[in-house]
Amino acid sequence: QKIRADFPVLDQTINGKQLVYFDNAATTQKPSAVINALVHYYQTDNANIHRGIHTLAERATRDFEATREAVRAFLGAASTEEIIFTSGTTQGINLVASTFGRKFIGEGDEIIISGLEHHSNIVPWQMLCEEKGSILKVIPVTDEGELDMEVYASLLSPNVKLVAVNHVSNALGTINPIKQIIDQAHAVGAKVLIDGAQSSSHITIDVQALDVDFYAFSGHKIYGPTGVGVLYGKKELLNAMPPYMGGGEMIKEVSFEKTTYNELPYKFEAGTPNIADVIALKAAIDYINVIGKENIAAHEDALLAYATERLLKIEGLRIIGTAKEKVSVVSFVIDGIHPQDIGVLLDNQGIAVRTGHHCTQPLMKRFNIVGTTRASFAVYNTIEEVDRLITGLERVIKMLK
Ligand code: C6P
């Protein structure tokens, strides 16, 4: 209850019922600390950063760079030079495809992704393959929703230049064995990008222990604001890569004959960044650190176990994604009922879930379904709310069957 009181949005009724928010994999709600950081910035410190010498500019720059240090610690990175602010996971992946990809991946080279990927970690690689004549290979998904690691091993060869997979599947909740994926990729000389959109709020990340080359995540999925994300990259790789966008901040010197580029991380941060949201992201990271990711995960795991047990007792309900290692995401289908109808009828009862393909159309095709209903839990959710979901579903089934 103490944690719930930190999230003002939860205290409301929807369609006459107390809100149950189970769409946390799409975006988490924001604690007052994050909302207040945004308001504080605009009310007292608003200025452009890295350029002004006046007091407001100094304060804004100090707080912006304080977030970079907080992110460095959050990811276990060696240096703040390796922390690049983006608009989110999608931009982080596109940045790597457009810079590392364009420079180091050529005709006939191979890129490996997986059947569990979000469209954000499929389409940028397809675009690159189309431009370069490179080849996209896909690790298949088992009936349980896990990656087929035997096939992965067989796909690896010196032709593979990059492996890009998610840490956690947004649609099924599967936690992928990324340390093994990274080590096996490195053994053939390939680099690895991990899409951390769904892992960063649940699992402690140590990019150095993982030895990962690139790791991308979004602020809005870790209780922070929308419009801000992070790309971690190993320093030697970032230094070897060309810039992403051209403009202010990313240059050292410009003449009409030649431009030289700024040092890391600014080389990849052209233009005025999303200052307010970057600053507020630190409040989100501090919030998580105070509670502790292990405590958050333990609470969410208990919710997942309870929800799974109760859902499985509903006749005609099938859980899609039964991997041994999962975060607090449960996706399911009910015989004879379209997921969208479930979503609308749950919303009528004040319960927010996501329905549809979850931006993973190839994965839905793999399971021969149009989509699922997905409930995803966060630190502020409760067992009583899971009970509300179960009662809500029973009502939906009674209405539609
Ligand atoms: N998944 C979901 O409801 P952005 O939009 O850039 O913040 O994140 C994109 C993204 C990339 N990878 C994974 C694994 C993701 O889950 C997401 C976002 C949301 O599942 C919105 S589609």
Q: What is the pLDDT of residues 332-354, one digit of tens each?
A: 999 999 999 999 999 999 999 99
Distance of CA 299 from the midpoint of ligand 1 (Å)? 23
Q: Rounded mean pLDDT of the chain? A: 98
In the predicted structure, residue 330 carries a pLDDT above the cut 90: yes
Residue 332, φ and ψ in degrees, nearest 5: -150, 160
Q: Going by DSSP bridges, is the β-strand pair 317-320/329-334 parallel, antiparallel, or unpaired?
A: antiparallel
pLDDT of residue 10: 98
167 lines ligand 1 (CB under 6 A): no
**Most ligand 1 atoms within 8 A of CB, residue of 28, 359, 361, 373 to mutate:** 359
Distance of CA 196 from the midpoint of ligand 1 (Å)? 9
**Most ligand 1 atoms within 8 A of CB, residue of 21, 86, 218 to mutate:** 218
Closest CA to 268 of 288, 239, 295, 296: 239
Q: How many residues does the chain have?
A: 401
| CA-angle at 148, arms to 301 and 331, nearest 5° | 40
- What residue ranges in 72-153 does DSSP mark as E strands? 83-86, 110-114, 135-139
Q: What sign results for the dihedral spanned by CA atoms 186, 191, 197, 200?
A: positive
Which residues are known to be catalytic? Answer: 359
Rounded CA-CA distance 343/362 in Å is 22
pLDDT of residue 28: 98
For residue 37, the Cα-to-chain-centroid distance in whole angstroms is: 22
The protein residue whose alpha carbon is closest to atom 16 in ligand 1 is 170
pLDDT of residue 398: 97
Rounded CA-CA distance 44/25 in Å is 33
Residue 89 Cα: closest atom of ligand 1:
6
Helix (H, G, I), strand (E, B) or coil at 352: strand
Distance of CA 26 from the midpoint of ligand 1 (Å)? 7
- What residue ranges in 56-154 does DSSP mark as E strands? 83-86, 110-114, 135-139
For residue 266, the Cα-to-chain-centroid distance in whole angstroms is: 23
pLDDT of residue 95: 98
The DSSP secondary structure of 279-310, one letter per residue, reads HHHHHHHHHHHHH-HHHHHHHHHHHHHHHHHH
Q: Which residue has the higher pLDDT, 52 or 74?
A: 74
Question: What is the mean predicted confidence (pLDDT) over 19-30?
Answer: 98
For residue 187, the Cα-to-chain-centroid distance in whole angstroms is: 27
The radius of gyration of the chain's CA atoms, rounded to the nearest angstrom, is 22
Residue 229 Cα: closest atom of ligand 1:
7
198 lines ligand 1 (CB under 6 A): yes
| CA-angle at 19, arms to 18 and 24, nearest 5° | 155
pLDDT of residue 209: 98
In the predicted structure, residue 52 carries a pLDDT above the cut 90: no
As a whole-number percent, the residues of the chain with pLDDT over 70 amount to 100
Residue 90 Cα: closest atom of ligand 1:
6
Contacting residues for 31 by C-beta, under 8 A, at least 6 apart: 6, 7, 223, 283, 284, 287
Could you tell me if 76 and 209 are in contact, meaning their C-beta atoms sit under 8 angstroms apart?
A: yes
The protein residue whose alpha carbon is closest to atom 2 in ligand 1 is 26
The DSSP secondary structure of 236-285, one letter per residue, reads HHHHHSPPSS-SSSSEEEE-SS-EEEPPTTGGG--SS--HHHHHHHHHHH
In the predicted structure, residue 230 carries a pLDDT above the cut 90: yes
In the predicted structure, residue 97 carries a pLDDT above the cut 90: yes
pLDDT band at 21 (very low <50, low <70, confident <90, very high): very high
Contacting residues for 143 by C-beta, under 8 A, at least 6 apart: none
Could you tell me if 160 and 149 are in contact, meaning their C-beta atoms sit under 8 angstroms apart?
A: no
In the predicted structure, residue 51 carries a pLDDT above the cut 90: no
28 lines ligand 1 (CB under 6 A): no
Q: What is the pLDDT of residues 183-225, one digit of tens each?
A: 999 999 999 999 999 999 999 999 999 999 999 999 999 999 9
Beta bridge partners of 214: 193, 233
Distance of CA 257 from the midpoint of ligand 1 (Å)? 41
Residue 26 Cα: closest atom of ligand 1:
3
Residue 101, φ and ψ in degrees, nearest 5: -60, -50
174 lines ligand 1 (CB under 6 A): no
Distance of CA 197 from the midpoint of ligand 1 (Å)? 6
pLDDT band at 401 (very low <50, low <70, confident <90, very high): confident
Residue 205: how many CA atoms within 13 Å on its side-chain side? 30
Residue 387, φ and ψ in degrees, nearest 5: -60, -40
Residue 107: how many CA atoms within 13 Å on its side-chain side? 0
Q: Which residue has the higher pLDDT, 118 or 401?
A: 118
Rounded CA-CA distance 335/315 in Å is 9
